[in-house]
Amino acid sequence: MSQSASQTSPSRPVRLRRSVLSVPAINRRALDKLSSLDCDAVIFDLEDSVSPEKKAEARENLRAFFAASPLPGKERIIRINALSSNFGVDDLALVLALEPDAVLLPKVDEPQDVMLVGDRLAEADAPENLRIWAMIETPRGILNAASIAEAGRTSGSRLDCLVVGLNDLRKETGVLPQPGRAYLVPWLMQVILAVSAYGLEAIDSVFNDFKDAEAFEAECGQGRSMGFSGKMLIHPSQIEAANRHFGPDAAAIAEAEAIIAAFAEPGAAALNVVNIGGRMVERLHLVQAERLVHKARLIAQRSIALRQAQDEG
């Protein structure tokens, strides 16, 4: 392992990934509503939510949507079918044509799954800002999470994010869906350790019962406490709670601003530790504070843009 691979994290662009809404690419009505929603990112799904006979139609839906709706301020991710399937090659060709922000790979079991797609993108001379996200949703994916993350940080790699898929993982392991996810927490934390070690981010799994707002709130709080950057969503009604739980609150923003101000004081340039209200704060926290404040500014800017768009609509 390289010296402190996690130090790659500060160089990663700050992105808002509190709420990652998954939308079936076959659902034109859902696609049309996206510009008015306050989600940070959208996964356009060509895989599980689209039946085999509808795959081609779903791809055409995305061609039309991307031509008309750039969705400024939202990260756009296309989830493709596995390249080993009958549909994956056509899906990847669509990704190359549309150039979203990222391509999401399903059921990633080992590093080679990511490296194969990375090689395909490089061969096609895809822009560097077309990134790779990986679904970790199988027992092998969980066991190999660290090696997948490590391979994703090698030279030329595009891997940015791991997304946990608990529905498939439960199905393959027999773990029952229970409040608190007690038997799944060790596996979830393996993913968090992997992304933390190699400067990536992790998105928590979907919560299936979107009508159970109380249980969803609890799971968002749990995911944030574990270290996830955000949550994959299946319904617009889940966006507000995800944004609230995974976003910085007023107290955290104030603390970050105080850290930035302290290190900006005359004479602090040579210090690795400063005293803030009787608490010793190390310089490594300055990078975290700067990222948090930048994220808060992005949220404020996006809120203004969304209100303007809604007023114009």
233, 22 Cβ separation under 8 angstroms: yes
22 CB-side CA count, 13 A = 25
Report whether 32 belongs to an annotated binding site.
Answer: no
Query: What is the distance between the alpha carbons of residues 19 and 168, in angstroms, rounded to a whole number?
Result: 21
In angstroms, what CA-CA distances link 12 with 1, 129, 191, 287? Answer: 19, 12, 18, 12
191 CB neighbour count, 10 Å cutoff = 27
**Of 129, 3, 106, 116, whose CA–CA distance to 46 is shortest?**
106
- Cα Rg for the chain, rounded, in angstroms? 20
**Of 273, 211, 264, 268, whose CA–CA distance to 241 is shortest?**
211
140, 126 Cβ separation under 8 angstroms: no
Report whether 90 belongs to an annotated binding site.
Answer: no
Q: Tokens 């995911």, residue?
A: 223
* Alpha helices for 43-134 (secondary structure H): 55-68, 88-98, 111-123
CA-based angle 230:239:235, to the nearest 5? Answer: 105
12 CB-side CA count, 13 A = 22
Report whether 79 belongs to an annotated binding site.
Answer: yes
Binding residues for Mg(2+): 137, 168
Binding residues: 79, 137, 168
Binding residues for substrate: 79, 137
